[in-house]
Amino acid sequence: MAQVTDPRDGRIRSAVGEQVRRTKRFADETEPAALAILAVMALSLLGALVGFLAVSDWTIVPFAAFLASSAVGWVRYQEETAYLIALMMTVSTILILGLIVVFIFRESIPVIRYESATVYGITVPGLRMFIQPNWDAVSPPIRYSMVPMIHGTVMVTLIASAVAAPLGVSAALFLSEIAPATVREVVKPGVEILAGIPSIVYGFIGFTVLGPWASDQFQTTGQGSYLFVGIVVGLMALPTVVSVAEDALSSVPESMKSGSLAMGTTDWQTMTSITLPAAFSGVSAAVLLGVGRAIGETMAATVMLRGVPRLTEPLVNVFYGQETLTSIIARNYGEADGLQMDALFVAGVILFVTVLVISVGAQYIEWRMHKRLGGEI
């Protein structure tokens, strides 16, 4: 074990050493006055951040100091100031992701404690949210189970993927390989516009038109069904799949495609035997990202579902739609407080972690594809 970690340790140490040397060189080469200004900028911004986190009314003072010192720096030492500001902006981007993680996890802790369950004598915090299916925020015993919402999200996502994946990949093939240039110039912006239609508009149409129609068709009591929420969400995830998959397909070198066509294959054979296999990882990343979109879709689900957090009976009954992880947050944030609000944060944590894992996975797959095709990352 030690042998394995040692070289890595060494690498990190040498990287850190390199960083320190570079910083020192930078400090040596830069005028003392410029260094002082940069230090004031960094410290004052740090102060402002601390003040903001501590909910202080005095946050404005260090922030004003930051603005003033940046202004001075900009006039006198533009080169160094620009570098520092760009660096700070990069750091703040990462900081935001960090803050999201910290804050939504922090808010969800109380209810995780409350919903502890004991298995084989070991108390596992939060376990009860996943082993019993009751959500009841009003009458004792108060229970916040995530099971019905996870069930709903899974149902919606499955249906949405069944819609978005085949249609999206086929449309991407059309755009990247089949469509004549003029048709592509029309269809491609069309797909982008489809991505732009606000989810609440989809939800509104789903609620006013599709909901009553579906309840009539399937003779259900009341409206709201996972089937149609899934279809609508699938259509909303479609543009993501199309544009990412199209990028992947276009990144397959043209020479490979011509090579196949010159062998006397049809365009379709070239697509299925050369282009799609070569772009396979990119296309699967596209489908994964589409799944991520479908999981996180909120407003259409909120408006079209029934808003009763319970399982459908039987579990495969797609003609009834109860609640998903996203919709329960959007529906209940208003009247919720205390533990119930914290339970909503748990739903948020589940969403965030799932989608983050999917996103990182998709990036890894894409990265491997680029490496395999020998292109630049």
Question: What residues between 336 and 365 interact with other proteins by CB under 8 A?
Answer: 344-345, 348, 351-352, 355-356, 358-360, 363
Cβ-based nearer residue to other proteins, 30 or 170: 170
Cβ-based nearer residue to other proteins, 30 or 359: 359
Which of 361, 335, 354 has the alpha carbon at shortest distance from 146? 354
SS (H, E, C) the chain: CHHHHHHHHHHHHHHHHHHHHHHHHHHHHCCHHHHHHHHHHHHHHHHHHHHHHCCCHHHHHHHHHHHHHHHHHHHHCHHHHHHHHHHHHHHHHHHHHHHHHHHHHHHHHHHHHHCCEEECCEEECCCHHHHCCCEECCCCCCEECCHHHHHHHHHHHHHHHHHHHHHHHHHHHHHHHHCCHHHHHHHHHHHHHHHHCCHHHHHHHHHHHHHHHHHHHCCCCCCCCHHHHHHHHHHHHHHHHHHHHHHHHHCCCHHHHHHHHHCCCCHHHHHHHHHHHHCHHHHHHHHHHHHHHHHHCCHHHHHHCCCCCCCCCCCCCCCCCCCCHHHHHHHHCCCCCHHHHHHHHHHHHHHHHHHHHHHHHHHHHHHHHHHHCCCCC
- Sole window of 40-48, 125-133, 136-144, 245-253 interacting with other proteins (rule: CB under 8 A): 245-253
Indicate whether 61 belongs to the interface with other proteins (CB under 8 A): yes
- Please identify which residue in 191, 237, 245, 343 interacts with other proteins, judged by CB under 8 A: 191
Pairing mode of beta strands 122-124, 117-119: antiparallel
**Residue 225 beta carbon to other proteins: minimum distance, rounded to whole angstroms:** 9
- Please identify which residue in 223, 243, 281, 284 interacts with other proteins, judged by CB under 8 A: 243
- Sole window of 102-110, 116-124, 130-138, 143-151 interacting with other proteins (rule: CB under 8 A): 102-110
- Sole window of 33-41, 115-123, 130-138, 288-296 interacting with other proteins (rule: CB under 8 A): 288-296
Quick one: tokens of 101?
Answer: 């993680």
109-138 positions binding other proteins, by CB under 8 A: none
**Residue 121 beta carbon to other proteins: minimum distance, rounded to whole angstroms:** 34
Distance linking the first and last C-alpha atoms of the chain: 32
- Please identify which residue in 47, 73, 152, 296 interacts with other proteins, judged by CB under 8 A: 296
In the block, which residue shows the tokens 């090579």? 259
**Residue 174 beta carbon to other proteins: minimum distance, rounded to whole angstroms:** 4
310-339 positions binding other proteins, by CB under 8 A: 312-314, 317, 319-320, 326, 329-330, 333
Cβ-based nearer residue to other proteins, 115 or 171: 171
In this structure, are residues 80 and 30 in contact, taking their beta carbons and an 8 Å threshold? yes
**Residue 21 beta carbon to other proteins: minimum distance, rounded to whole angstroms:** 14
- Please identify which residue in 24, 58, 113, 212 interacts with other proteins, judged by CB under 8 A: 58
Contact map string, positions 201 to 230, toward other proteins, x by CB under 8 A: x-xxx-xx----x--xxxxxx---------
- Please identify which residue in 79, 120, 121, 141 interacts with other proteins, judged by CB under 8 A: 79
**Rounded distance, CA 147 to CA 163, Å?**
24
**Rounded distance, CA 179 to CA 158, Å?**
29
Indicate whether 96 belongs to the interface with other proteins (CB under 8 A): yes
Cβ-based nearer residue to other proteins, 118 or 197: 197
3-42 positions binding other proteins, by CB under 8 A: 15
258-287 positions binding other proteins, by CB under 8 A: 258-269, 273-274, 277-278
In the block, which residue shows the tokens 């543009």? 239
Cβ-based nearer residue to other proteins, 123 or 255: 255
143-182 positions binding other proteins, by CB under 8 A: 167, 170-171, 173-175, 178-181
Cβ-based nearer residue to other proteins, 118 or 364: 364
- Sole window of 25-33, 42-50, 154-162, 367-375 interacting with other proteins (rule: CB under 8 A): 367-375
Q: Fill in the amino acid letter for 213.
A: W
